[in-house]
A and B are shown apart, each in its own frame.
Chain A
Amino acid sequence: MRPMLWVGACALALGVGFLLVRHYFWSPLQMHIESGSGDIPSAPHVKITVIDLIPESMSFETNQDSEPNLAINPSNIKQLAASALTENPAGSGNAPIFVSADGGATWTACPIIQSELRTADITLRFTRNRLYAGILRLPDKLHLNIQSTDDFLDCSTPMTIRVDRNQVDQPYVQATDSSGSDRVYVGNNDFDPTLRGRTATTDATLAGPSGFSSFRIERRATSGQDSPPIRPAIGPNNVVYAAFIANRNSGAEVIVVRDDSGGVGPNAFGALKDSDGQPGVRIDTGLTIPFENFPHTSFGQERMVASDLSITVHPLDAARVCVAWGDRRSGAQLTLHLRCSSDSGRTWKAGAQTASDVRTVANARAPALAFNSSGVLGFLWQELDGNGTDARWVTHFERFDVSYKSVGNNVLASTKANSPPWKFMPYLGDFEHVMAAGETFFGIFAASNVPDRRNFPSGVTYQRHADFDHQLLLDGAGNKVAPSIDPFVFIVAPQ
């Protein structure tokens, strides 16, 4: 072969190879900086946007807007909805959510959730143009509501109540309309005494917004009840997973259940059996998962209520599923474990990893996971760095390639952990959220809103009035406003 042909063939092969690697690994050139953990500078091949979503006209607010959640309209990814434990600024009326029609650049608070002033829990999810909210409604105790609206930008019309019952904790909604009708799953901890302690439950429908029924996903005996978080994850081809934390006399267990036909019916979530023949694979057992429902000065004013749990499934390959949870071991207050399965949840050692954990993070909390369309795994968490008055909550977003090798670990925020002082629990939230639309990750976390650019190494935009030169928040008339906890939306997009 003549030399010119060799050169051409090599160039072609290199080009194709580069495209393949880019497709499967997304950001191959970042891999060399990923071996360590901690504060790695922003990777060069992603664009990171961080936005404090408190609207400009709420510049006066000092609420503790913790435990944020986020939803993206699959029909129009410029349309987003977000929530937090935000009080109606008027001091009366319905609870607000935040809506955006411009891809998250600007936000409006709409008081459309039927709950007095605020909610005790809230998560949001879209199907095609329809927004669902799973909430604990106030002023009652453990009052589950599933609400929906077909026009989430109409701030004058409250959402419609679809499910309304009592003695239920921590609703967590997931939804899709990939099969042409709304499939909605709301994980919850149901204290119905007839369940005899098998409290892990999903309320689900394949014909949303109506037709919800409750399905029990705990089949084994508990030491009294399951822990609060029950997290569904919707995969392709009618596959649905759920993760929960079971309490046994021998300690806590992290359980994953699966259903291959939509997750409804008398044997819902019974497809994945463990060695005892019971549905639900026990990823780890004999765990100590603290339930300490008070602010910890040694844990950045936050409580620990066994709610650190997240699960995600690959949008195109239902066999690939990852789970992250927090437990107590090795002297740390809370240690996060990220573990993945490539065989539909049967085994939990992933890729080339020799250890069971893809990632272990000590003194950290609130894990949140999502796969993007290329199979890149996004992992959001908050880590306590330092002690005493120097302690900081550091919010990380790390990405892993298809082999679960880290390909980018960005610090989104690093803010004082002991200031501002807590007003209620949770301080930052018992959980936070990340999801993906195509290759772009969208997520949300809570942090101190002191306007200091050093606190946001990946950059930040405020809508509320802020003087970054003097680290001051201001109201509409230019008066100083005390710092508080705000929800921050972040977008990590490939470049």
Chain B
Amino acid sequence: MDIRRLQITKATLLIVCTMLFLVHQSDSNASVPPDTQYVFVGEITDTTPPTGTLRPKAGTVTVHVDQVLHPLPPADIANSAGTSIAMRRAQPDAPARGERATFYTEIISFGKIMEVQEVKHVIIPATASAASEEDQVSKMKKAELARNVQEATVVLAGKVMFVSQPPAAAGAEEGQMSEHDPQWRDAVVQVDNVIKGRVANKEITVRFPASTDVAWYKSPKLKEGQQAVFILGEDGATLGHANAAAGEAPPAITRPNSVLPITSLSEIRAAKKPKKHVASEPN
């Protein structure tokens, strides 16, 4: 191999590596780190905490929240833009007062003012446009959906054919008089598409809590005729067995994001990253 070819190869490798790094950076900026609760675009307006901070600590600064990127509506905190909050900095110096940044934070408390702990930040160049911030919101939304899909065992699209009470033997707790009784219901779902995982039958049964109690009101409530995308966790694996309906309890749908509108199907398909270990697809 002559020196010229070696240099070209090195240069190509450098370019590829740089591109991969940039793509990775872009992705990691878009996604919300697992322990991060509150992501916003803001500006440090004072290097001391605002008045009213409960037990202010050294390194706490005042930040004005310009735009909330995470969580998004319907979370009420999405409407917290336009206020000044106290932030304990992760790093003592950066960004400087007056600089804008995207802050990734954890919530400490809500008092007269809100107090957060900075996890990380990304400086926003002065030339950045509002459109790029909107784009960031969109990326985060997609990243959250992708994580939801990636963590699922089975993702499928289908139609709820009918809903009924589970058999009496569904659980000893069914006879309990508790205000937190989930009031389980079984929904038979006609499987139209399997996006991820293995499903052995064309019809499956999923279990959901019909209760309006505080413990269950956010869980999806399925109705006959409803078309939806079902994102099932670990117990979704039972659907891969041909005898699942006969011998095993149906997977329980309790998380609010376990059932998404059928209109989100294309987004969900896009969110699914191909993985070698994913089981075979539909029947």
Give A328 Cβ to nearest chain B Cβ, in Å: 16
Q: When the two chains form their complex, are residues A477 and B82 in contact, meaning their CB atoms are under 8 A apart?
A: yes
Contact flag A424-B217 (CB < 8 Å), given A62-B76, A90-B37, A293-B181: yes
Q: When the two chains form their complex, are residues B179 and A111 in contact, meaning their CB atoms are under 8 A apart?
A: no
Q: When the two chains form their complex, are residues A91 and B109 in contact, meaning their CB atoms are under 8 A apart?
A: no
- Indicate the size class of the contact surface on chain B: 35 or more
Q: When the two chains form their complex, are residues B83 and A167 in contact, meaning their CB atoms are under 8 A apart?
A: no
- For residue B91, CB closer than 8 A to chain A, the reply is no
Q: When the two chains form their complex, are residues B76 and A85 in contact, meaning their CB atoms are under 8 A apart?
A: no
Q: When the two chains form their complex, are residues B109 and A141 in contact, meaning their CB atoms are under 8 A apart?
A: no
Q: When the two chains form their complex, are residues A141 and B179 in contact, meaning their CB atoms are under 8 A apart?
A: no
Q: List 17 A-B contacts (CB under 8 A).
A: A57-B85, A58-B114, A61-B76, A67-B214, A89-B110, A91-B75, A93-B106, A109-B111, A120-B180, A136-B215, A138-B215, A141-B173, A155-B108, A225-B177, A425-B179, A425-B212, A476-B83
Contacts A58-B114, A90-B37, A476-B82 known; 4 new A-B pairs at CB < 8 A: A93-B107, A169-B176, A169-B180, A479-B79
Across the interface, name the chain A residue whose C-beta is closest to B88.
A156
> CA A475 – CA B215 in complex, angstroms?
27
Give B235 Cβ to nearest chain A Cβ, in Å: 14
CB-CB under 8 A from A224, the residues of chain B are 175, 177
- For residue A142, CB closer than 8 A to chain B, the reply is yes
- For residue A153, CB closer than 8 A to chain B, the reply is yes
Q: When the two chains form their complex, are residues B83 and A477 in contact, meaning their CB atoms are under 8 A apart?
A: yes
Q: For residues 176 through 212 of chain A, which have their beta carbon under 8 Å from a beta carbon of chain B?
A: 189, 191, 193
Q: For residues 182 through 219 of chain B, which have their beta carbon under 8 Å from a beta carbon of chain A?
A: 182, 211-215, 217
CB-CB under 8 A from B275, the residues of chain A are none
Q: For residues 299 through 357 of chain A, which have their beta carbon under 8 Å from a beta carbon of chain B?
A: 303, 305-307
Q: For residues 92 through 128 of chain B, which have their beta carbon under 8 Å from a beta carbon of chain A?
A: 106-115, 117
- For residue B77, CB closer than 8 A to chain A, the reply is yes
CB-CB under 8 A from A403, the residues of chain B are none
Give A427 Cβ to nearest chain B Cβ, in Å: 10
> CA A476 – CA B173 in complex, angstroms?
45
- Centre residue among B77, B81, B254 by max chain A CB count within 10 A: B77
> CA A63 – CA B211 in complex, angstroms?
18
Q: Which of A110, A154, A293, A478 contacts B179 (CB 8 A)?
A: A293
CB-CB under 8 A from A262, the residues of chain B are none
Q: When the two chains form their complex, are residues B178 and A189 in contact, meaning their CB atoms are under 8 A apart?
A: yes
- For residue B161, CB closer than 8 A to chain A, the reply is no
> CA A57 – CA B54 in complex, angstroms?
12
> CA A58 – CA B85 in complex, angstroms?
12
- For residue A227, CB closer than 8 A to chain B, the reply is yes
Contact flag A425-B213 (CB < 8 Å), given A57-B110, A109-B111: yes
- A residues contacting the other copy or chain, number (CB 8 A): 68
Q: When the two chains form their complex, are residues B107 and A111 in contact, meaning their CB atoms are under 8 A apart?
A: yes
Q: Which of A106, A424, A475 contacts B111 (CB 8 A)?
A: A106
Q: When the two chains form their complex, are residues B54 and A60 in contact, meaning their CB atoms are under 8 A apart?
A: no
Q: Which of A189, A291, A424, A430 contacts B212 (CB 8 A)?
A: A424
Per-position contact with A for B131-148: 1 when CB-CB < 8 Å, else 0? 000000000000000000
Across the interface, name the chain B residue whose C-beta is closest to A155.
B109
Give A123 Cβ to nearest chain B Cβ, in Å: 14
Give B79 Cβ to nearest chain A Cβ, in Å: 4
Q: For residues 34 through 93 of chain B, which have their beta carbon under 8 Å from a beta carbon of chain A?
A: 37-38, 54-55, 71, 75-77, 79-83, 85
CB-CB under 8 A from A96, the residues of chain B are 110
CB-CB under 8 A from A67, the residues of chain B are 214
Q: When the two chains form their complex, are residues A228 and B178 in contact, meaning their CB atoms are under 8 A apart?
A: yes
Contact flag A108-B71 (CB < 8 Å), given A89-B76, A424-B213, A477-B82: no
Q: Which of A108, A141, A193, A247 contacts B110 (CB 8 A)?
A: A108
CB-CB under 8 A from B172, the residues of chain A are 193
CB-CB under 8 A from A110, the residues of chain B are 109
- For residue A378, CB closer than 8 A to chain B, the reply is no
Q: When the two chains form their complex, are residues A85 and B214 in contact, meaning their CB atoms are under 8 A apart?
A: yes
- For residue A170, CB closer than 8 A to chain B, the reply is yes
Give B111 Cβ to nearest chain A Cβ, in Å: 3
Across the interface, name the chain B residue whose C-beta is closest to A61.
B76
Q: When the two chains form their complex, are residues B112 and A60 in contact, meaning their CB atoms are under 8 A apart?
A: no
- Centre residue among B79, B109, B110, B117 by max chain A CB count within 10 A: B110
Q: When the two chains form their complex, are residues B81 and A477 in contact, meaning their CB atoms are under 8 A apart?
A: yes
Contact flag A60-B213 (CB < 8 Å), given A109-B110, A111-B107: no
Contact flag A92-B37 (CB < 8 Å), given A57-B114, A141-B180, A170-B179: yes
Q: When the two chains form their complex, are residues B107 and A88 in contact, meaning their CB atoms are under 8 A apart?
A: yes
Across the interface, name the chain B residue whose C-beta is closest to A307.
B179
Give B269 Cβ to nearest chain A Cβ, in Å: 26
Per-position contact with B for A80-97: 1 when CB-CB < 8 Å, else 0? 000001001111110010
Across the interface, name the chain B residue whose C-beta is closest to A170.
B179
- For residue A420, CB closer than 8 A to chain B, the reply is no
Per-position contact with B for A162-173: 1 when CB-CB < 8 Å, else 0? 000001011000
- For residue A458, CB closer than 8 A to chain B, the reply is no
Q: When the two chains form their complex, are residues A118 and B214 in contact, meaning their CB atoms are under 8 A apart?
A: yes
Q: When the two chains form their complex, are residues A108 and B109 in contact, meaning their CB atoms are under 8 A apart?
A: yes
Per-position contact with A for B1-13: 1 when CB-CB < 8 Å, else 0? 0000000000000
CB-CB under 8 A from A305, the residues of chain B are 179
> CA A458 – CA B167 in complex, angstroms?
53
> CA A153 – CA B111 in complex, angstroms?
12
Q: Which of B82, B107, B115 contacts A89 (CB 8 A)?
A: B107
Q: When the two chains form their complex, are residues A90 and B180 in contact, meaning their CB atoms are under 8 A apart?
A: no
Q: When the two chains form their complex, are residues A153 and B176 in contact, meaning their CB atoms are under 8 A apart?
A: no
- Centre residue among A463, A475, A478 by max chain B CB count within 10 A: A475
Give A231 Cβ to nearest chain B Cβ, in Å: 15
CB-CB under 8 A from A153, the residues of chain B are 54-55
Across the interface, name the chain A residue whose C-beta is closest to B183.
A293
- For residue A55, CB closer than 8 A to chain B, the reply is yes
Contact flag A60-B109 (CB < 8 Å), given A141-B215, A170-B179: no
